Amino acid sequence: MTRFRHVCSNWRMLSLLQIFTSVQRHHSVHRRGLFIALHSSSHRSIGSNFMQMAQSPHHETKALLYRAPPEVRGMVSLDRDAFTQTIVIPSLRVPKGVLNKVVKSLKRTIVQRPGIPRVVQDKEDGIEEDDMRLVLLDPLRVSSLSSFNEAETEALRSFAVPQELQDYNLQLKYCNLKTEEVLEAVLPEGQEITSAFSRVGHIAHMNLRDHHMPFKNLIGQVIIDKNPGVSCVVNKTNMIDNTYRNFKMELLAGEENMVAKVKENGSSYEFDFSRVYWNPRLSTEHMRVVQEVKRGDTVLDVFAGVGPFAIPAARAGATVLANDLNPESHRWLQHNVKINKVAAAVRTFNLDGRAFVRGPVRQELPALLRAKAGVHIVMNLPALAVEFLDSFRGLLAGEPSCDAALPTVYCYGFSKDEDPERDMMLRASQSLGVSLDGRCSVHFVRNVAPNKDMMCVRFPLPKEVLFSSEGEQTGPEAEPAPKRQKCGETAD
């Protein structure tokens, strides 16, 4: 580490130039890494880089300052050492006795990077000076003494800090770079980089594009390195358009353990993420519906997945009948019921949604209505649930009609319509065979794709549907097979 005693009048510009001229590569990446040949403009001359930097706005300058060595571009097998370089940043010599006070006063201007110390030992010609320390400054905020504001200048004066900026040779390593900085340096210039992922327990799942594929394992490894708690990175290899709504996925990096453990709204869930549906973006929606459930109510969850409506509803004091067609979901649903200690309140089923409505729901409903219990029917299979509403037609035909409160249905659907609220109301009405106009509310859940929203239509199940003799059904076997879903671009 060398310290230069000179004070530059145009420190910042000189310092920025030094970043490029004094970069000392500690390892030859060409010897170590595995590369893809790229015709990139990253091997520009120092002069043109500097010109670009001198004219850059603040954020661009920042990107340049912390840019990894150009040799890493095209790397497909991660060589962390290849990112090591030395950059020159400003610093202040501060007497040890006032160090804490000075650091506090200079909070705005001190260097802030993961893994980079704010204070280092001061060395004069390699000999440590015990009574002095170097406070490292952010080169993007400090280019000369005049960069300090009035309060900072006053603090430096009152603590008798030598009014002199020192150059400090900072070794910048892979661990000091952010994910985007690493990927920006590696992926072909001008191409969109991605560091976005959804987190499900220890699993990060990504949605890589074709141009990312040569770098997929490196991207996965960087995500693991930079995100504590992530030990497995997967890429979705299909749209979620199969019956069970789970992704096919490919391991990019880390351990091949797909059994995730997550917490949502205070409940615990465990499941094999590669074989069941789970979406961390639905936690607010799960909570919104469960908040409507009161102690003593009954919840009938037609497409229950691994239990994110059913389990919190049971914990809130409801009795629950939860169903899912996917045997794997059903298995994890049973497991989650146990680990959340709600087995006494939840009965699980592994049936098609129609069979569930025509079987267990049909069986329970008359007594529940007679008991004037609050009943909630949850139908979260947005690509298809609306089409299942016809299974309520004539469900209680022949039973004595009652004037008690009717079950509340929460039915989810996707809409690409300009007026998604009306679209949902109309489609639900059509499936039920009665108009819901003025008898339902429609809630926007989330946007799943450009021009595609997930919605929830909520309504009291009309008496004329439940007790209608038209369309009367006698049992699950009388039902048509569920229609094939068409949801090519469906993200959910």
Ligand X SMILES: C[S@@+](CC[C@H](N)C(=O)[O-])C[C@H]1O[C@@H](n2cnc3c(N)ncnc32)[C@H](O)[C@@H]1O
Q: Is 266 annotated as a binding residue?
A: no
Q: Is 374 annotated as a binding residue?
A: no
Site map for ligand X, 233-272, x if CB under 6 A?
Answer: ----------xxx---------------------------
Q: Is 324 annotated as a binding residue?
A: yes
Q: What angle do CA 449, 455, 456 make, to 5 degrees?
A: 155
CB half-sphere exposure, 61, CA atoms < 13 A: 17
Q: Which residues contact 13 (CB under 8 A, 6 or more apart)?
A: 54, 143
Out of 325, 409, 442, 455, the residue judged to bind ligand X by CB under 6 A: 325
Nearer to ligand X, 187 or 381 (CB): 381
Task: Report if residue 312 touches ligand X, rule: CB under 6 A.
Answer: no
The 3-state DSSP class for residue 20 equals helix
Nearer to ligand X, 165 or 304 (CB): 304
> Strands 267-272 and 259-264: what pairing?
antiparallel
Task: Report if residue 381 touches ligand X, rule: CB under 6 A.
Answer: yes
Out of 305, 394, 407, 462, the residue judged to bind ligand X by CB under 6 A: 305
Contact range with ligand X by CB under 6 A, out of 8-16, 146-154, 322-330, 396-404: 322-330
Long-range contacts of 222-225 (CB under 8 A, 24+ apart): 222/78, 222/179, 222/182, 222/183, 222/195, 223/179, 223/195, 223/197, 223/252, 223/253, 224/253, 224/254, 225/80, 225/174, 225/175
**DSSP assignments along 161-207, one per residue:** --S-EEEEEEEE-GGGS-HHHHHHHHSPTTSPP----EEETTEEEE-
> Strands 119-124 and 203-206: what pairing?
unpaired
Contact range with ligand X by CB under 6 A, out of 52-60, 174-182, 301-309, 473-481: 301-309
The least CB distance from residue 377 to ligand X, in Å, is 12
Burial of 406 per CB tally in 10 Å (0-12, 13-18, 19+):
middle
Q: Is 325 annotated as a binding residue?
A: yes
Looking at residues 79 to 98 of the shown chain, list those that interact with ligand X (rule: CB under 6 A).
none
Q: How far is CA 75 from CA 111, 188, 309, in A?
A: 29, 10, 45
Task: Report if residue 329 touches ligand X, rule: CB under 6 A.
Answer: yes
Question: What backbone torsions phi and psi does residue 342 show, to the nearest 5 degrees?
Answer: -125, 20
Site map for ligand X, 435-474, x if CB under 6 A?
Answer: ----------------------------------------
Contact range with ligand X by CB under 6 A, out of 179-187, 191-199, 325-333, 420-428: 325-333
Nearer to ligand X, 109 or 348 (CB): 348
Task: Report if residue 391 touches ligand X, rule: CB under 6 A.
Answer: no
Q: How many Å apart are CA 212 and CA 220, to the nearest integer?
A: 11
**Across-strand partners of 442?**
457
The least CB distance from residue 316 to ligand X, in Å, is 16
The 3-state DSSP class for residue 109 equals coil
Out of 309, 332, 410, 459, the residue judged to bind ligand X by CB under 6 A: 309
Task: Report if residue 144 touches ligand X, rule: CB under 6 A.
Answer: no
Q: Is 225 annotated as a binding residue?
A: no
Instruction: Please name which of 485, 283, 241, 287 lies closest in space to residue 386, comparing C-alpha atoms.
Output: 485
Nearer to ligand X, 161 or 378 (CB): 378
The least CB distance from residue 264 to ligand X, in Å, is 9
The 3-state DSSP class for residue 485 equals coil
The 3-state DSSP class for residue 1 equals coil
Contact range with ligand X by CB under 6 A, out of 116-124, 152-160, 229-237, 319-327: 319-327
Q: Given the rule CB under 6 A, which residues bind ligand X?
A: 243-245, 277, 279, 282, 303-305, 308-309, 323-326, 329, 352-353, 380-381, 482
Residue list, annotated binding site: 286, 324-325, 352-353, 380
Residue list, annotated binding site for S-adenosyl-L-methionine: 286, 324-325, 352-353, 380
